[in-house]
Amino acid sequence: MLIPEIETQRLLLRGFREEDFDAYAEMCGDPDVMRYLPEGKPLSRPESWRHMAIMLGHWQLRGYGMWAVEERSSGEMIGRIGCWQSEGWPGFEIGWTLRQAYWRRGFATEAARPAMDFAFGKLQQSHVISLIRPENYASRRVAEKLGEKLEGTMEIFGDEVVIYGMSREDWLTITNC
């Protein structure tokens, strides 16, 4: 499957490549990054490899998935952002994870906006969610900047998460489409 590429002012959203692996393994091995994800702990290099392969496989199985996020100016793979709905997942999710060196620069919001456009436009989703650990205030701010509203809480893999969400109609209103 050909994974579509999307350019923003500073970023390129694209499919993962083998040369992304060192950066991906660094991100997945960082305890500060992983504490907010379902795994809740750093991944080993072999676990990171399998995880990256899962990201690619999701595209093949569903026709959408997480993009590798590349900083255009440096060519560095800085994280992953995109659409997710594995078997048994509570809804169609827009999610984001960045390497720690790229936090607090607005990259998550910049990349999540075209992911929302893709979900609501190309995929015609009626509603999207973002599942966030309650203490992850930075991700909660990203969801709010995107226009998502707090919809409730639930348990995922034994941990409480807050559910942010948005309807297609709200997105179209915000983006004036």
* Nearest of 152, 110, 98 to residue 130 by alpha carbon: 152
Give the tokens for residue 22. Answer: 């060192």
pTM beyond 0.85: yes
Q: What is the pLDDT of residues 110-148, one digit of tens each?
A: 999 999 999 999 999 999 999 999 999 999 999 999 999
SS3 105: coil
Q: How far apart are CA 64 and CA 82, in angstroms?
A: 8
Q: What confidence tens digit (pLDDT) does each residue in 80-100 have? A: 999 999 998 999 999 999 999
pLDDT confidence of residue 126: 98
Q: Please list, in sequence order, all residues whose beta carbon lies within 8 angstroms of the beta carbon of residue 117, skipping any fewer than 6 positions away.
A: 175
Identify the band that residue 157 occupies on the pLDDT scale cut at 50, 70 and 90. Answer: confident
Contacts of 136 (CB under 8 A, 6+ apart): 36
Rounded CA separation 108/105 (Å): 8
* Closest of 77, 73, 59, 61 to residue 17, by C-alpha: 77
Give the Cα separation of 34 and 44 in Å (integer): 12
64 vs 172: CA distance, rounded Å: 20
Domain regions of the chain by residue span: 6-175
Instruction: Phi first, then psi: give them for residue 118, nearest 5 degrees.
Output: -65, -45
pLDDT for residue 177: 55
Asked if residue 109 has pLDDT above 80, the reply is: yes
Kind plus residue range of the DSSP H or E element containing 152: strand 149-156
Q: Mean pLDDT score of the chain, rounded to an integer?
A: 96
Q: What is the CATH number of domain 6-175?
A: 3.40.630.30
